[in-house]
């Protein structure tokens, strides 16, 4: 039996916002009966462009229903720009965590939200519109795997299966998934140079700047250079770290999100958990 | 969560250890701790009781006591049968089995296939039945063993193993059956069959977990799985698990007495439960041949809802069942049995298995009938597919709102 948190149980037993908004502004449908779970999200905006109401219909297990209900609670009252920032991790955190094998339920929530927002903007639904299907059993594309892996720092095929279901059927795509992961994380240096001293005490501004520079130099730049790119530190404003990506990195749209995540995760690891990386266009 | 009551209908997963069985076992955890192999009276007394248990099991199976080998579980018995058939006939490298076996056989066969053995997995039809002509045709010169379960754990579908054993015997091929779900639920008289080997598991018939049996017909070539001491006439090494063997003996004696009840009263409970649910719940169906089933098992699919969700709601009410849905099978795909039968995804994901026992009552059935329709209703309100289905169904000529 799965170990669900009380919050998952609560949102499963008595889900909030069940239903369908008849004259919805955005409709997002993901999943299918064959896959074993599916979610239909509808939302309505108020005159200020905030999500006034959100409803869901879900076919799936307890964590799928709870994740869907959590999603509707998370997006209510937000502008679409704010809502877009919600990730599967936010959904999982809202519920006090999900069993790792069930993380795909939170990913389904994030995807339904993206689809509903795209629908509002008159765009084709993702991810089927883009990318190449890697997992035939569950219809998961390479783009989807790349995004979920980058967003959630996933490194193994098993983790990808837990988050996207890809590879959870016949298993024939395991090598392809591994290849995607290898490519994605090849920017990470395999041999980690000696780590800068862990920052436990609060840092002075100068210490923080130095440590950020040091980390970028040791942990980030070699990886980017190996890929024909570079990074420049523009400014540090409180916990905001402004960087500019140069060379091949700056023109590569697909990897922008990945790079931002990568740089931020390194800075958080070595400097401070509060840091946020923002890219500045040169 | 405090349950008002527990309604246990998951007996194909495991069953309650009968109080009589517990009572029979207790002295063997205490004063009767001797080793049955010892050359003293203290151990000898225990050996006599182990032999008595062997006779009790043999009586349930219609076998001779010397054909009974005690093992640790059904899985060990199945593994022993498969590997013994190959080891005792080194020139034969083919095994014939079905796609709907329990993992104890299925995964062991897949493992043997990866070691270079040749395995054929026979398909089943929509009702879960085998094509015996196809089975006979699939037997080859180098077939070491045919292994077909007596009854399926998920659907309860019974295979004609006695007939299959005859087919195999006529071709001089060994036949093994995983009878873990059948023993105690259907009459078995092995002396009158051509079955070479049979596996049973104690905890499915009200003995505790951790004890099983492999029946090996006299004259069947045999190579032990566990090697070591001379226990079980040199066929299964390791000091006998005496308390559990005694427990299984008692459980076998009870099962023999209760076989009639299983096939009348328990069958009646199952039928009433099943009919009641089918009547109360729209778009529901039974999986498996209704005319060839164990008396205690019902696999019912409720379309457009997912099994784990149903089980958790049932669990909150103290009702224990299981499901063949993806989310509960431990993998991401629904049960291999329902897929092999070609049950549509709409139904496979929403399948619930109720498996009853001697300990269930009419009140248990009433309790499930009172609560399950509401649970399905609630989940269908949440499901995006239900409204679509209803629209389509209402548009169908002749459709009457249930």
Whole-number pLDDT of residue B389:
86
Work out whether strand B94-98 and strand B118-122 pair parallel, antiparallel, or are unpaired.
parallel
Q: Above 60 in pLDDT, residue A282?
A: no
Contact B384 A137 (CB under 8 A): no
C-beta of residue B354 within 8 angstroms of C-beta of residue B277: no
pLDDT of residue A191: 55
Q: Which residues of B touch A62 (CB under 8 A)?
A: 308-309, 312
B398: left (phi over 0), alpha (psi -120 to 50) or beta: left
Q: Could you tell me what percent of chain A has a pLDDT over 90?
A: 45
- Give the Å distances, CA to CA, from B147 to A82, B81, B103, B361: 60, 9, 13, 35
Other beta carbons within 10 Å of B55? 16
Put simply, whether A137 touches B (Cβ < 8 Å) is yes
A95: exposed, middle or buried (Cβ count in 10 Å: 0-12, 13-18, 19+): buried
Residue of A18, A29, A161 with shortest CB distance to B382: A18
Q: What is the pLDDT of residue A249?
A: 47
Tens digits of residue pLDDT in A41-56:
999 999 999 999 999 9
Helix (H, G, I), strand (E, B) or coil at A45: strand
Q: Which helix (H) or strand (E) holds B200?
A: strand B197-201
**Mean pLDDT split into 10-residue runs, chain B, 402 residues:** 80 97 98 95 96 98 98 98 98 97 96 97 97 98 98 97 98 98 97 98 98 98 95 95 98 97 95 98 96 97 94 95 76 86 90 97 98 97 89 63 44
Q: Which of B306, B316, B332 sits opposite A59 (nearest CB)?
A: B306
Name the more confident of B53 and A262: B53
Predicted confidence band of residue A8 (pLDDT cuts 50, 70, 90): very high
Q: Give the pLDDT confidence score for residue B387 in this predicted structure.
A: 83
Task: Report which of B356, B335, B320 is spatially closest to residue B287, judged by C-alpha positions.
Answer: B335
Helix (H) or strand (E) holding A134: strand A133-135
Say if CB B125 and CB B175 are below 8 A apart. Answer: no
Would you say B155 and B342 are in contact if contact means Cβ atoms under 8 Å apart?
A: no
Full DSSP string of B135-170: HHHH--TTEEEEE--SB-TTT-BBP-HHHHHHHHHH
For the residues A187-208, what does the mean pLDDT come to? 59
Helices (H) and strands (E) in chain A, counts: 12, 8
User: pLDDT-based confidence at A263, cuts 50/70/90?
Assistant: confident
Q: Is the pLDDT of residue A257 over 70?
A: no
How much is the pLDDT for B110? Answer: 96
Q: Is the pLDDT score of A17 beyond 80?
A: yes
ipTM of the shown complex? 0.86
* Closest C-alpha to B55, from B204, B262, B207, B245: B245
**CA A145 to each of CA A107, A115, A179, B305, B327: distance values in angstroms, whole numbers, following the listed order:** 11, 16, 11, 27, 21
Q: How far out from the chain centre does Cα B122 lie?
A: 19
Q: Does B327 qualify as catalytic in the annotation?
A: yes
Report pLDDT for A233. 78
pLDDT at residue A239, rounded to an integer: 82
How does residue A194 score in pLDDT terms, banded at 50, 70 and 90?
low
Q: What is the pLDDT of residue B266?
A: 97
Inter-chain CB proximity B306 and A165 less than 8 Å: no
Residues 343-402 of B with CB under 8 A from A: 345-346, 349, 381-385, 387
More confident residue, A93 or A33: A93
Handedness of CA B390, A120, A18, B385 (dihedral sign): positive
Q: How confident is the model at residue A167 (pLDDT cuts 50, 70, 90)?
A: confident
Catalytic residue of the set A61, A105, A137, A170: A105
Neighbours of A88 (CB within 10 A): 24
The whole-model pTM stands at 0.81
Q: In angstroms, rounded to a whole number, what is the distance separating the alpha carbons of residues B203 and B200?
A: 9
Q: Which residue, among A4, A14, A17, A33, would best test binding to B if mutated, counting the most B CBs under 10 Å from its CB?
A: A33
Top mean pLDDT of A38-52, A122-136, A201-215, B318-332 is at: A38-52
């Amino acid at each position: 039996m799965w170990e669900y948190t009380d919050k998952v149980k609560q949102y499963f037993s008595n889900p909030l916002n069940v239903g369908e908004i008849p004259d919805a502004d955005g409709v997002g449908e993901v999943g299918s009966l064959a896959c074993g779970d599916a979610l239909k999200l509808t939302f309505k905006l108020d005159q200020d462009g905030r999500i006034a109401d959100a409803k869901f219909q879900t076919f799936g297990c307890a964590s799928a229903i709870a994740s869907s209900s959590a999603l509707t609670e998370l997006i209510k009252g937000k502008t679409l720009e704010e809502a877009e920032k919600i990730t599967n991790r936010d959904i999982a955190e809202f519920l006090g965590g999900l069993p790792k094998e069930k993380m795909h339920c939170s990913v389904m929530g994030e995807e339904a939200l993206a689809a509903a927002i795209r629908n509002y903007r008159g765009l084709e639904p993702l991810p089927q519109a883009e990318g190449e299907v890697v997992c035939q059993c569950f219809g998961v594309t390479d783009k989807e795997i790349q995004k979920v892996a980058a967003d959630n720092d996933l490194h193994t095929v098993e983790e990808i299966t837990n988050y996207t279901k890809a590879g959870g059927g016949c298993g024939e795509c395991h090598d392809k998934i591994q290849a995607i992961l290898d490519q994605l994380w090849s920017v990470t240096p395999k041999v980690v140079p000696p780590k800068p001293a862990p920052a436990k005490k609060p840092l002075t501004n100068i210490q923080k700047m130095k440590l950020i520079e040091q980390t970028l130099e040791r942990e980030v730049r070699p990886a980017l250079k190996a890929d024909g790119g570079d990074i420049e530190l523009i400014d540090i404003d409180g916990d905001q770290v402004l960087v500019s990506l140069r060379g091949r990195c700056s023109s590569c749209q697909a990897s922008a999100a990945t790079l931002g995540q990568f740089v931020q995760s390194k800075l958080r690891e070595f400097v401070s958990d509060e840091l946020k990386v923002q890219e500045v266009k040169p | 969560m405090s349950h008002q009551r527990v309604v246990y209908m998951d007996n194909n997963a495991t069953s309650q250890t009968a109080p009589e069985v517990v009572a029979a076992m207790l002295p063997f955890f205490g004063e009767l701790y001797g080793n049955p192999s010892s050359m003293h009276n203290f151990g000898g007394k225990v050996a006599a009781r182990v032999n008595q248990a062997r006779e009790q099991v043999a009586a349930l199976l219609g076998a001779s006591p010397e054909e009974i080998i005690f093992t640790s579980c059904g899985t060990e018995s199945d593994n022993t049968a498969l590997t013994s058939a190959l080891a005792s006939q080194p020139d034969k490298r083919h095994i014939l089995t079905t796609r709907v076996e329990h993992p104890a056989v299925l995964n062991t066969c897949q493992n043997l296939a990866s070691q270079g053995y040749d395995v054929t997995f026979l398909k089943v039809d929509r009702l879960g039945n085998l094509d015996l002509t196809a089975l006979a045709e699939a037997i080859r010169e180098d077939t070491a063993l045919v292994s077909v379960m007596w009854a399926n754990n998920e659907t309860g579908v019974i295979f004609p193993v006695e007939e299959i054993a005859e087919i195999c015997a006529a071709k001089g091929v060994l036949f093994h059956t995983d009878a873990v779900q059948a023993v105690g639920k259907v009459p078995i008289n092995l002396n009158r069959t051509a079955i070479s080997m049979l596996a049973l598991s104690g905890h499915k018939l009200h003995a505790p977990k951790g004890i099983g049996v492999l029946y090996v017909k006299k004259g069947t070539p045999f190579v032990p799985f566990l090697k070591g001491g001379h226990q079980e006439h040199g066929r299964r090494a390791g000091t006998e698990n005496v308390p559990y063997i005694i427990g299984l003996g008692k459980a076998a004696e009870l099962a023999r007495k209760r076989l009639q009840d299983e096939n009348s009263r328990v069958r009646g409970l199952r039928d009433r439960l099943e009919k009641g649910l089918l009547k109360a719940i729209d778009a529901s169906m039974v999986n498996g041949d209704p005319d060839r089933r164990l008396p205690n098992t019902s696999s019912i699919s409720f379309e457009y809802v997912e099994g784990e969700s149903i089980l958790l709601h049932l669990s909150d009410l103290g009702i224990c069942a299981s499901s063949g849905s993806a989310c509960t099978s431990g993998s991401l795909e629904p049960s291999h049995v329902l897929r092999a039968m070609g049950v549509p995804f709409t139904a496979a994901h929403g399948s619930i298995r109720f498996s009853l026992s001697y300990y269930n009552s009419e009140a248990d059935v009433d309790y499930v009938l009172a609560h399950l329709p509401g649970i399905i209703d609630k989940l269908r309100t949440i499901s995006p597919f239900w409204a679509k289905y209803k629209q389509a169904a209402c548009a169908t000529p002749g459709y009457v709102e249930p």
